């Protein structure tokens, strides 16, 4: 037996059913690879701006993973906690593995070993 409170038109019925459903809360999104101005040549945002964007986007947490340093970790953590955001501290470390095939040729061509980024959070 059809519910008589719903419209007969299929499109209107679908819209009415959709409106009657409780809204599903969006899953929180957390950026885990953000470079700040402390990542030389890779990031331009100041730490306060990163936290500000997280607050505006209603992120529960955000990570700063600067390259080869943790210079901004304390400042970032203090700003994030002050604004109610959980800070996640990470670091992208560039490692050069020796002993790989073709290292000598690659070193002469590029003036240095190939770098492999590794992100630790």
Max Cα-Cα span within the chain: 79
Q: What is the pLDDT of residues 35-53, one digit of tens each?
A: 999 998 888 999 999 999 9
Confidence of residue 59 (pLDDT cuts 50, 70, 90): very high
Q: Does position 22 have pLDDT exceeding 70, yes or no?
A: no
pLDDT at residue number 38: 96
Grade residue 21 by pLDDT with cuts at 50, 70 and 90: low
What is the residue extent of each domain of the chain?
Answer: 25-120
**Candidate from 51-55, 79-83, 114-118 with smallest mean pLDDT:** 114-118
CATH of domain 25-120: 3.20.20.140
Look at residue 83 and tell me whether its pLDDT is greater than 70: yes
């Amino acid at each position: 037996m059809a519910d008589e409170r719903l419209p007969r038109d299929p499109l209107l019925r679908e819209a009415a059913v959709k409106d009657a459903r409780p809204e599903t809360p969006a899953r929180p999104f957390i950026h885990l690879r953000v470079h700040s101005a402390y990542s030389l040549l890779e990031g331009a945002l100041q730490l306060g701006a990163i936290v500000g964007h997280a607050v505006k986007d209603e992120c529960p947490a955000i990570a700063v993973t600067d390259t080869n340093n943790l210079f901004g970790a304390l400042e970032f953590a203090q700003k994030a906690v002050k604004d109610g955001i959980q800070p996640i501290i990470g670091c992208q470390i560039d490692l050069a593995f020796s002993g790989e095939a073709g290292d000598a040729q690659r070193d002469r061509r590029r003036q240095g070993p190939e770098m492999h980024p590794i992100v630790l959070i």
